[in-house]
Amino acid sequence: MQFFTVDPAAVRRLSAAFDSASSTIGKEAGAFESSARLPGAAFGRLPEGLAASSHYEHRLGEALQGLAALQVTLEQVATNLRASADAYSAADQASLLE
């Protein structure tokens, strides 16, 4: 039977990278939202402009939801990597006691 080894410290570093990416996405999403918001009459006051404004706001909302979902996913990956590193460390400790 062939075995493999895992470096828990490397897995923890990878987890930290995902935490950092999640934090960056959160900060950048806030900046993006602030800069992407337009005044109500940015597309004009005619019906076509109001329709374009409504479409823009809808798409902006979708983009912000996507960024929020990405941030949550990155946080979940980081959490799962930490749990994996902890499990590998525990297994290593248990094998030393045998």
Tens digits of residue pLDDT in 14-52: 999 999 999 999 999 999 999 999 987 889 999 999 999
Q: Is residue 22 part of a domain?
A: yes
Give the per-residue pLDDT at 57: 95
Q: Is residue 51 part of a domain?
A: yes
Q: Is residue 49 part of a domain?
A: yes
Burial (Cβ within 10 Å: 0-12, 13-18, ≥19) of residue 58: exposed
Q: Is residue 4 part of a domain?
A: no
Q: Is residue 96 part of a domain?
A: no
Q: Is residue 83 part of a domain?
A: yes
Domain of 52? 18-87
Give the per-residue pLDDT at 34: 92
Q: Is residue 70 part of a domain?
A: yes
CA dihedral 40, 51, 45, 57 (to 10 degrees): 10
Q: Is residue 75 part of a domain?
A: yes
Q: Does residue 1 carry a pLDDT above 80?
A: no
How many domains is the chain built from? 1
The two structure tokens encoding residue 19: 């935490």
The CA angle 95-97-98, to the nearest 5 degrees, is 70
**Between 97 and 11, whose confidence is greater?**
11
